[in-house]
A and B are shown apart, each in its own frame.
Chain A
Amino acid sequence: MSITLILVVGCLTAVGVYLATSRVLSRIVLGFAVLGHAAVLALLTAGGPAGRAPLADRNPVDETSNPLPQALSLTAIVIAFGLTLFLLALARRQQQLSGDDVVEDDLEDRRVAQRDQAADRTVHGASDEAPGEVQR
């Protein structure tokens, strides 16, 4: 296993997680693209040292690289392609609906926040601005 590849996997993961935690959907999409690369590289690294092309009739078996993780990686890459497209479509739809592609607050969260504000106002009003409340 090469230490360089492991370091690259680490860096890609860090960048990917950073981007994916953003509120901007296009950054999230990029983040997942990078994270996907990190995972695929990790899978390739897990297959052992690189070697010659794994063609049984041309190269001796002990000199070739491990073909199984390569096959798995290809599958994972194809899946990542499809999902990136789907995420982009969602981001586009979000942009159509709200004008930008920022993740909106959860409805329930907003309701709780409003309730807290309302409670604050009531307490505040009861102590200081009671006359104002009565007038309204």
Chain B
Amino acid sequence: MTSIVALLVLLPLTASMAALGVRNQGPLRDIVSIGTLTTASALSVILLAHVEANGSVVVRLGGWAPELGIVLVADMFAVLVLAVAMLTILLVEVFAIGQRGTASGADPSVVGPMLLVLTAGVALSILTGDLFTLFVAFELMLVASYVLLTHQGKAGQIRSGMTYVVINLFASTLFLFGVAFVYASTGTVNLALLAQRIPELDDGVRWGIGLWFLVVFGTKAAMFPLFSWLPDSYPTAPTTITAIFAGLLTKIGVYVMIRFNTLTGMDDLGGVILILAGLTMIIGVAGALAQDDMKRILSFHIVSQIGYMMMGLGLFTVAGVAGAIIFIVHQIPVKTVLFLVGAMVESDRGTSALSRVGGMISRSPWLALLFALPALSLAGIPPFSGFVAKLALIDAGVSSTSTVIVVVALVGSALTLLSMVKIWGGVFWGTDPADGDPSDEIDGGGPGSDVSRRAWWTMSWATSVTMILTLAIAVFAGPIWTMSERAATELLDGETYMSDVLDDGSDA
């Protein structure tokens, strides 16, 4: 099992170099990407089953003690998020291969290798057991994202890409300063040791470290008021790329925020986090309502949904953190599938501006369904996964008597539904402003569309499977909830994590 944990990071990284070597030989490169991502998905599901049955797996790379070396920790929280993330990346890669025949598709010789680098970065961020390796993993993930965002070299991409790169570089520099502060005050960067030592620090130092990392992780996660880079840069990337960013990058920011704050016992930051969570929810969704482009509306929703995850963390109860975890698990595929539908609309019509697209429901009823189900799920309508996740959070909020945040969360949900209705009305209903003839069904693309039948089919297939993944999360909400609760207990308690990492001397 330990080799699987290491493989999940090393395999995509090695394969990315192989894919880069054969980047101009289409079929070979696709086989390498798809093969690696399929293997990684399978391994992560096996790991999930193993950890569910037997508890955490800890790997000490090179056999060094945790004080000195790098540890990878596959606990319940990690494997749960990892499995969903890997499956989502695989589906996006399939989609990207389908989309390549179209004008709006990204350059496949860049997307293939870079998606693998991104995968390695995501896996390492999730699995790592120390702060400095987390820094390296973030950089790995972000470098891949910089390239994916700007590789087409269009003016808009360079402009917003610059903002994205500069903001993230600044956050990374702050991260490095934070690592220095933590090392100076505790003498370690290992999370398990920090879980022991940070609670013993003076309140002032502890608050300082906590707030510092809240800013660092908050910038990565696009928390209010550090979110403005996201709606600016995400919509300019090729939509397939935006789908993977939307599904994964900010969620990893929240993931490490939850991991760091729970393990190091930053309970007193709860109030601050709750206030920021409420503001993030409302400001994000208000921004979405003001937009008139499908991609921009969805980008603002990423911000709004981050608020819900932070709300679960801010409560600092088992129910709250478990709610945040199931919310992350639900968000990764839902957000991805919404952007994939956006990419399909864009491939077909050449734009995603609401005023220039219309009547998609008669062109492709299936696409409308693919949008409607995850949109309802995002708004939290039963019986979809969003309902389960939001119910868990609201329930946790009510039981810890944080009435204000519960009310804010419910208002946010209603506004989310409103803006989904706006997309629905703009894109799927009404008449097509382009030719006014809604009768030409998509049969390998309508007139003026450059989508071949095969490309459309591959894209539909990948999007449908992602949607089935979101439905599966709703169907298996029971087991996933049990796992989330266990993960939250492990995180808030911290004892299991510490003993797993520090006592377990065997690394074989």
Contact = CB atoms under 8 A, between A and B. Distances in A.
Nearest to B160: A106
B155 A107 contact: no
B180 A39 contact: yes
Nearest to B136: A75
B177 A42 contact: yes
Interface in B347-379: none
A104 B180 CA distance: 34
A79 B165 contact: no
B468 interface: no
A111 to B, nearest CB: 11
A92 B67 CA distance: 43
Given A28-B166, A39-B180, A93 B158 contact: yes
B143 A82 contact: yes
B132 A75 contact: yes
B139 interface: yes
Contact of A46 (B135, B173, B180, B232): B180
Given A75-B132, A83-B143, A90-B165, A42 B180 contact: yes
Contacts of A38: 173, 177
A45 B184 contact: yes
Interface residues of B, number: 32
B181 interface: yes
A30 interface: no
A97 B155 contact: yes
A94 to B, nearest CB: 5
Interface string A99-111: 0000110111000
A106 B132 CA distance: 34
Contacts of A103: 159, 162-163
B153 A93 contact: yes
B146 interface: yes
B68 interface: yes
Given A28-B166, A83-B169, A108-B232, A72 B139 contact: no
Interface in A21-46: 25, 28, 32, 35-36, 38-40, 42-43, 45-46
Interface in A47-83: 47, 68-69, 72, 75-76, 79, 82-83
Interface string B175-194: 01101110110000100000
Closest CB pairs A-B (n = 5): A46-B184, A39-B176, A42-B180, A46-B180, A46-B183
Interface of A: 1, 20, 25, 28, 32, 35-36, 38-40, 42-43, 45-47, 68-69, 72, 75-76, 79, 82-83, 86-87, 90, 93-94, 97-98, 103-104, 106-108
Given A36-B176, A107-B156, 14 more contacts: A25-B162, A32-B170, A39-B173, A39-B180, A45-B180, A76-B176, A79-B136, A82-B143, A90-B150, A90-B162, A94-B162, A98-B155, A103-B162, A103-B163
6 contacts: A36-B173, A36-B176, A68-B183, A83-B143, A103-B159, A106-B232
